[in-house]
A and B are shown apart, each in its own frame.
Chain A
Amino acid sequence: MGRVDFNDVKHETRTFAGVTVPVSVVPRFKRQAYPTRFLFSLKSLVDGMRLTFGYLVRPSTVVTRQYPENRATLKFPERYRASLKFKFDENGYQSCNGCGSCERACPNGSIILETRKGATGKNEIERYIWRMDSCVLCNACVEACSFGSLEMSHDFENAVYDRRLLVYTLNRYAGPTANVLLKEENLEAREAMMTKIDAYGGQVPMNGYALPTVAALGTPREKAATDGKGEAS
C-alpha cells in the first residue's frame, strides 16, 4: 500500500521544443515493504469499522426520508417530474389551442388530442387525453409546447387499482384559449363558448370516455371488447 504525498509535488517550468510550460512533478509511486502494507491494511480495516460503528451508535445520522410520516413536509427538486398537468391562468382559462405539437412530440402516443371548430371559427381543444399508463415522463411535450400550456407537476401518489384510472383528461373545459375568451367582454357569452368537463383533480377516470384500447369505467370487459369505440356510457 503506497500513497502519493501531495506535499512532495514540485511545481517547476520545463522547456519542451523551445516552449516553456509549467509542470507538476509527482514523485514516483513507491510500494512499501510487506509488513508496512500488512499493518496499513489492518489499520484501514479498523478505520472502516470505526466509521460504521459511529453510524450505528448515532441514530441522528439516519438520512432516509420516512415517507408516509413526512407527507406534509415533503420537498421535491424543482425539476422533479411526476405527472403532466395543464397550466391555467387566474380566471381558470387555458392557453392550449390544440395545435398538436405535444401529440406529435410524444414518443409513444400517450397524448391524444381531440379538437373542434369553435364559435370564432378557430381550432379549439375539446378533450386533452393523457395516458399515464404508457407515459414515460420524458418531458418532450412540455418542451414542444409553444404556448407554455403544459407543466410537469410533483403529484406522485398516482397508484390506482384499475389501469383505466390512469387515463386522465387534463383540460377543465372544452373551448378556446384565454386570449380568445378575454376578448369577449360579456361573461355569459364567454361561458357559452366553454363546455365544462370535470376539473382535473388527480384521478379523473376518463369521465366515462372510452378509447380504442381502453374501455370506459363501469363497462364490462366483454362488452368493451366488442364496442369499445367512442363515447361509451
Chain B
Amino acid sequence: MTATSLTYFAIAAAQGAFKNVTVSERTAQAFADGSWILAIVYIVVALGGLAALVTLSGLVLIYVERKLAAHFQCRLGPMRVGWHGIFQTVADAVKLLLKEDVIPEKADKAMHLLAPFLSMMATVMVLGVLPYSPILQITDINIGVLFVTAVSGFGVMGILLGGWSSNNKWSMVGAMRAGAQIISYEISATLALLVVVLFSGSLSLAEIVQSQDAGWWIWRANGVGFVSFIIFVIAVTAEINRTPFDIPEGESELAAGFHTEYSGLRFSFFFLAEFINMFVVSGMTATLFLGGWMPFHIGAWAGFNGFMDLIPPVLWFTGKTSVVIFLIMWFRWTFPRLRVDQLMYLEWKVLLPIGFVNLFAAAVVVLYNLYPFPILVP
C-alpha cells in the first residue's frame, strides 16, 4: 500500500466512507463489479484473519491466564521459556501437536473424532459476526444476536458428543452436567441480552453498537442495563464452564470431565475452544453493554471526547474485551466451585426471576420512554 493510498484510506475513514462496511459486503461488491480475484482475496483474508485470531488469542489468553492465576495465588507462574515465560504457551502448543492422539478402543470413533471440531466450529462461527471496529467485521447479519445465541448453544453438542462417545463414566457425567448447565444458563443470558435488544431496537450487532453512540447500555438504561450486565456476566461464565461453574470438568470428582479420554491435538481443540469462548463471550459483553468499539465519551466535554476518538476503535474493542476477560479470570481464581444443586438453585431460583423482572422493567422503561437520555434510532 503506497503513501497516497494510505492517505486516501485515512481521509475516507475520517469521512466515514467505511462506516459499517463488512468484509462480506465488500466481497459481494467485488463480485458485482466482476473482479472475482479481489473477492477471493477478501474471502481468504477473512478466513486467514479468523484463523490468526483464534491461534493468537488462544496462545495469549492461556499465557495471561497462567500468569494471572499465579499472581492471584502468590506464585510467579511460567518463568523459564523466554522472558518471564512468554513463549511457554508456544512450547506447550508444539508439545500438544506432537503428542500421540489416543482413541479409546470401545469409543464411538467417528463421533469421538467429530466432537472437538463441533465445539471449535461453534466458537469460530461467533467470531465471524462480532464487530471489531466499524470497518472490521466479517459479516453483519441482521439477526446477529439470535445467531450468536443459537450457535453458542451448538457448542454444547460438541461437549455432549465428546463425553458420550468416549464410553467413559467420567466423560459421560461431565458431559451431562455440561449439558444441563449450559442449557439452563443460556436462558438467563438470553433474558439479559433481550434487555439490550429492547433498548437498541435491533438484533444486528453492528446496529447495537451504533445505538450506543450517546452512551453505553450498561449505564444509559436506568440501572436495568447494569442488572442485566451482571446477570449476563454470571450466565456466560457458567456457559463457558469456568470456575466457579466448572463442575463439568471438576477435577476432584470427574478426573477431567468430558475431555478425560482426549489427548494430543483433539484435547487441544477443546482447550483452545474454551479459551476462545472466553474471548467470544467477553467480546459479546463488550458489544452489548460496553459500547463495542465506541470510544468513551462524556456528555459535552468536546476536548476529552476528541482525545478519546483518537484511539482506534479496534483498541477500544480489545480493551473492553480484555477488561471483561480479566474479570472472568479474577472470578476463577477467587471463588470456589459450586455444587450441582447450588448451580441449579442459582440459575432457576435467583437469576431467572431477577432476569424476568428486569426484562419487564426494561420493557416499561422503553415503552413509556422513561430514560433521561434521548434514544438514537439508527
Contact = CB atoms under 8 A, between A and B. Distances in A.
A43 to B, nearest CB: 14
A63 B72 CA distance: 11
Interface in B72-86: 72-76, 79
Contacts of A61: 74
A56 B335 contact: no
A45 B75 CA distance: 22
Interface string A19-63: 000000000000000000000000001001101110110010111
A49 B71 contact: no
A73 interface: no
Given A45-B335, A49-B330, A55 B79 contact: no
Nearest to A64: B75
Interface in B32-79: 68, 71-76, 79
B285 to A, nearest CB: 18
Interface string B312-337: 00000000000000000011011100
Nearest to A38: B350
Size class of the B contact interface (CB-based, 8 Å): 10 to 19
Nearest to A48: B334
A66 B79 contact: yes
B328 to A, nearest CB: 12
A52 B330 contact: yes
Contact of B74 (A45, A53, A55, A66): A55
Nearest to B244: A45
A37 B335 CA distance: 18
Nearest to A69: B79
Given A59-B71, A61-B74, A52 B79 contact: no
B76 A52 contact: no
A62 B73 CA distance: 8
Nearest to A59: B71
A59 B70 CA distance: 10
A63 B74 CA distance: 6
* Chain A interface mostly: helix
Nearest to A45: B335
B334 A49 contact: yes
A64 B74 contact: yes
Contacts of B71: 55-56, 59, 62
A51 to B, nearest CB: 8
A52 B72 contact: yes
Nearest to A63: B74
B74 A62 contact: yes
Nearest to B71: A56
Contacts of B68: 56
A44 B57 CA distance: 33
Contacts of A66: 76, 79
Contact of A64 (B76, B333, B334, B335): B76
A89 B94 CA distance: 54
A53 B329 CA distance: 11
A223 B72 CA distance: 56
Contacts of A64: 74-76
A52 B75 contact: no
A55 B72 contact: yes
A53 B75 contact: no
A48 B334 CA distance: 6
A49 B330 CA distance: 7
A52 B335 CA distance: 10
Contacts of B76: 62, 64, 66
30 contacts: A45-B334, A45-B335, A48-B334, A48-B335, A49-B330, A49-B331, A49-B334, A51-B334, A52-B72, A52-B330, A52-B333, A52-B334, A53-B330, A55-B71, A55-B73, A55-B74, A56-B71, A59-B71, A61-B74, A62-B71, A62-B74, A62-B75, A62-B76, A63-B74, A63-B75, A64-B74, A64-B75, A64-B76, A66-B76, A66-B79
The 4 nearest A-B residue pairs measured at CB: A52-B334, A63-B74, A52-B72, A48-B334
Given A62-B76, A63-B74, 12 more contacts: A45-B335, A48-B335, A49-B330, A49-B331, A52-B72, A52-B330, A52-B333, A53-B330, A55-B71, A56-B68, A56-B71, A64-B76
